[in-house]
């Protein structure tokens, strides 16, 4: 949202530059797409067969449409330029090395809790997300890279669905923080529900997440604590 034109450029010209490179070197090209493809979904959970509910003119469109165009471009290079491609749709991911202030709900909550300031929930907190630990994501990406005969798209995410309000409570429990929770208006067109159907990933990649949210949050909090102690 801070870099709208740059985001559109990466999804279009940047993606095509990488596809050109893959063609030149006869390499497999893996597109890191997103669950934002599904927009504010009318189907739950979301499988790869769902075409999504996305506004092409809304404030989120600079990211959503960049990714949708990236998928279309990747498929065109597969069909007409014989480039070996794969598409993964990544759902919410978290873990060590998240950046402070990057706008992600896990890093926001953890940093706020460790700093003793209120945790900010945008909206009523009943919106749901499904959080995949970074190690599991990387395992899924590597599995997709190795499946040279599989184009996808394929969902890579953790199907454990949780409300944002419940996530805030778990972060407070994990950190031992006494921070309060405050509410602010929800962003425009913020998805109400998000949960991947990973049947295809299980069948074609033999992949499913192994790290629980409890374990993943503890690892993430410990990493942020360590970084804070080094400041």
- Dihedral (C-alpha) 106, 110, 111, 117: value to the nearest 10 degrees? 120
Catalytic residue among 38, 50, 63, 80: 63
Tokens of 21: 């490179």
Torsions phi, psi for 199 (to 5 deg):
-55, -45
CA distance linking residue 177 with residue 123, whole number of Å: 22
Tokens of 143: 């599995």
Cα radius of gyration rounded to whole Å, the chain: 18
SS3 77: helix
Residue 63 known to be catalytic: yes
CA distance linking residue 191 with residue 199, whole number of Å: 22
Catalytic residues: 63
């Amino acid at each position: 949202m801070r870099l709208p034109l740059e985001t559109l450029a990466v999804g279009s010209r940047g993606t095509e530059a990488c596809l050109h490179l893959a063609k030149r070197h006869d390499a497999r090209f893996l597109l890191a797409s997103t669950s934002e493809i599904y927009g504010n979904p009318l189907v739950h959970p979301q499988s790869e067969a769902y075409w999504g509910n996305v506004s092409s003119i809304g404030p989120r469109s600079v990211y959503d449409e960049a990714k949708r165009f990236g998928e279309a471009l990747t498929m065109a290079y597969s069909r007409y330029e014989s480039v070996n491609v794969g598409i993964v749709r990544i759902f919410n991911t978290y873990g060590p090395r998240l950046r402070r202030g990057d706008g992600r709900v896990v890093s926001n909550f953890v940093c706020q809790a460790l700093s003793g300031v209120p945790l900010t929930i945008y909206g009523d907190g009943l919106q749901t997300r499904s959080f995949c630990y970074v190690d599991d994501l990387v395992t899924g990406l590597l599995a997709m890279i190795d499946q040279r005969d599989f184009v996808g798209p394929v969902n890579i995410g953790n199907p454990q669905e949780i409300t944002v309000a419940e996530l805030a409570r778990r972060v407070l429990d994990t950190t031992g923080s006494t921070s309060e929770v405050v509410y602010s208006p929800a962003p425009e067109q913020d998805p109400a529900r998000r949960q991947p159907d990973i049947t295809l990933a299980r069948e074609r990649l033999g992949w499913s997440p192994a790290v629980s949210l409890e374990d993943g949050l503890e690892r993430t909090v410990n990493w942020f604590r360590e970084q804070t102690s080094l400041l």
